[in-house]
A and B are shown apart, each in its own frame.
Chain A
Amino acid sequence: MRKNLVLISLSAGLFLTLLATLTIGPIRIPFGTVVKILFSKIIPIPQTWPNNFYEIIINVRLPRILLGILIGGALSVSGCAMQGLFRNPMASPYVCGVASGGAFGASLIIVLGLPQVLIMPVAFLFSLLVVFLVYHLAKIGRRIPVETLLLSGIAFSLFFSALTSFIQYVAEEGQLRQIIFWLMGGLWASNWNKVLSVFPVIFLGILCLLYFSRELNILLLGEDHALDVGVDVENARKIILILGALTTSSAVATCGIIGFVGLIVPHLMRIIIGPDHRFLLPASCLCGSIFLVWVDTFARTLISPTELPVGIITALIGVPFFLFLLRRRKRLSGF
C-alpha cells in the first residue's frame, strides 16, 4: 500500500515538475501565460503574449523537458534493470560499453565532417554494435556469466574510449571542441525532431523492461533458485540486456553521455521503496525523469543566459544527497 502511495506521489510529482519547469527559465514568463499558451493549441484563446513566448514555450522548453523526462526515465530504468540483472550495485548499461560505443560513433561523424544529422543514428548503431560484441565475447556456450560480461564490457569500453581519444588527437580544433561538447552530454540542443525520434524506442523499451520485473525479482534470488522456479535464466538475461542497451543507446545517441542518473536514482529508489522490481522499476523511471528535468532546469537557469553542462549539476546535487542517504542506511539494500 505504501509502495503504491510512493508510485502515485511520484507520478503526481512528475506532472507538477512538467508544469513547474515550463514556467522556469532564463526568460521570465508568468504561469498564467504558460497555461494559456499551452491551451491555445487546443481551444482558441485571444493572443495576449508576444510571438517569441509561444516559440519559447512550445518549441524550446517543452521539447527539452519532454526529452529530459524520456532520457531520465530511460537511463534510470535500464540502470536499475542492469543492477538487478547482474546483482551488482555498480552495473549499468554504460559498463557494457553503450556510452563509449556511442561516443566513438559520434566522434567519427564529426571528424569525417559528415552532416550533423548523421550523429544520432550512427552513435546509436555503434552503441548497439559494442553491446553485441561484448555480449558475444562474454558468452561461454549458452551461458553468459556475469563476471565475463562485466569484464568484457569494461575492456570494450576502454578500447572504444581509446579510439575516441585517438580521433580527438587527430581532429582539428573546431571538430575537437564539437566532440568534447558531445561527450559532455546535455539537453540544451533539444528539438521536436529528437523527441519524436527517440520516443518510440525509449517508450517501448521502458514498457518491455517493466514487463520483466518478475523475472528480475526471481533472478535476485540467484541463478539456481531462478532455475528451480522455472525461469529461463539465460533467455531472460539476454532479453533484459538487449532492452537495456537499446533504451540507453537511444538516450546516449540523442543527448550524449549523461552520467550518474542511471547509477544514483535506482539506488535511491531501492532505499526508499525496497528491492521489489515490480515497484522499483516504475519508481526509478519516474524519479529519474523528475531528477533529470530538475537538474537540467538548474543547468539552464543557474547562470543564465549561459548554460551549464548538466553533468556537473547531476554530480554536484546528486552525489551529496546520495551519500547522505547511504550513510543513513549504512548499506545498499536489496543485494
Chain B
Amino acid sequence: MDKKILKGILFAVILIFVLISFLYKEREYEKKEKKHIYERIVSLSCTTEILCALGAEDKIVAISDIDKESPYYEILKDKPRCGGGIRNVNVEKVLGFKPDLVFCWRGQADILRERGLNVYAVGTYDLEGVMGLIMDVGRLVGKEREARRIVSFMREEIKRISERLKKVKNRPLVYFEAHTLGKTRGKGSLTHDLITRAGGINIAKDEVVPFPLLSQEFIITKNPDVIIVEEYGASPEEVKKRDGWQNIKAIVNNRVYRSHVYFTSYTHRCIEGLKQFAKWFHPELFKE
C-alpha cells in the first residue's frame, strides 16, 4: 500500500517536472526573440517565401525541398537544402550552417531545439495567425516596416472583401477536398477560415477534428453549391464522374474548381486564395 502511494507521488513529481521544463523552454525562447536581429537563417517552412517577400533572402543560408514550388525559386535555387516536408530534417546539415535562427514546422522543432539551436516553429491555423507570423518574421530579421506593409495590404484586401459580402444573404455551401476523397478541412484550419471569410459555408464546420475524413453520404446529403479540389488530389473532371455525385448542385451547375496549394498555405499569398474563393462563391460581386 505504502509502495503504491510512493510510486504515485514519484510519478506526479516527475510529471510536474516535465511540465515545468516544457513551460520553461517556451518562455526562454520568447524572451530572446524580442530584441535580437538574426543574420544567418535556415528556413525549413513556409517562412522562406515570407522572408523573400520581405527582401531578406540574403539572410537565408539554407532552405528545404518544399521551396521548389515557391515563386521565388529563381533566387533560391542555388541555396543548399536540408530537409523537406513537415517532419524530415537533416539536423547535421542544419548544424553545419551555424544558423542563429531556424524557422521550421512544429514537428521539426523539438529535434532542432535539443541541439541548442534557436528555433521558431510555425504553428498557425487561421488568417490572423498568418499575419502574426509575417509580423514575427519581420521583427526577427529587422524588416518590420516591410512586414507591416504586407500585413496592412492583406488587411485591406480582407476588409474590401468582407465589405462587399456584407449585403450577401445566401452564402453557398462549400466542400473542400484535399488529397483524398472525403478528406477536408474543418474549424481550426486556415482553409476553413478562408472559406468563411470569402463568404462561403464550409460543410465541415461542425466537425470536432480540424482535418476530418467525411463520408460520401454526408457530402451528398449536404449537397454543396461549390466543390473545391486541391491541385494534387482528384481533378474536377474525376469529381464530376463520381458515382452518386451527379445530383450535387456544384456538379449540376458546373461549379467544381481546382485550388492551388498556395491558396491555402501559410503565407501572404493565401490572400490570393481568399480572393479566388470569393470570386468562385460570389461571381456576381467580384467581376473584375
Contacts and interface: CB of A to CB of B under 8 A. Distances in A.
A33 to B, nearest CB: 14
Interface string A192-218: 110000000000000000000000000
Interface residues of A, number: 38
B121 interface: no
B152 interface: no
B288 interface: no
A92 to B, nearest CB: 26
B244 interface: yes
A264 B287 CA distance: 60
Contacts of B214: 305-307
B182 interface: yes
A60 B181 CA distance: 13
A146 interface: no
Nearest to B105: A173
B215 A188 contact: yes
* Residue with the highest number of chain A CB atoms closer than 10 Å, among B84, B208, B221, B247: B221
B88 interface: yes
Interface in B252-274: 261
B234 interface: yes
B213 A173 contact: no
B163 interface: no
B216 A188 contact: yes
Instruction: Bin chain B's interface residue count.
Output: 35 or more
Given A178-B180, A305-B217, A55 B230 contact: no
Interface in A51-73: 51-52, 55-56, 58-61, 63
A178 B179 contact: yes
B216 to A, nearest CB: 5
Contacts of A115: 235
Interface string A167-199: 001111111111001000000110111000000
A304 interface: yes
Interface in B231-252: 232-235, 238, 242-247
B217 A174 contact: no
Contacts of B12: none
Contact of A174 (B84, B208, B220, B261): B261
Interface string A148-177: 000000000000000000000111111111
B207 interface: yes
B36 to A, nearest CB: 31
A189 B181 contact: yes
A20 interface: no
Contacts of A56: 216-217, 220-221, 244
A16 to B, nearest CB: 21
Contacts of A113: 232
B178 interface: yes
Given A172-B66, A306-B213, A191 B220 contact: no
B183 interface: yes
Interface in A276-310: 300, 303-307
A25 B221 CA distance: 12
A192 B243 contact: yes
A145 interface: no
B243 A193 contact: yes
A113 B181 CA distance: 17
A307 B179 contact: no
A334 interface: no
A59 B217 CA distance: 10
A48 interface: no
Contacts of A172: 65-66, 68-69, 84-85, 232
B218 interface: yes
Contact of B243 (A59, A169, A177, A304): A59
Given A61-B217, A173-B86, 10 more contacts: A56-B216, A113-B232, A116-B234, A172-B65, A172-B66, A173-B85, A174-B179, A177-B179, A178-B232, A307-B215
Across chains A and B, which 9 residue pairs bring their CB atoms closest together, nearest first? Answer: A59-B244, A305-B218, A174-B232, A59-B243, A55-B244, A191-B243, A306-B212, A178-B179, A189-B181
Interface of B: 65-66, 68-69, 84-86, 88, 178-183, 207-209, 212-218, 220-221, 223, 230, 232-235, 238, 242-247, 261
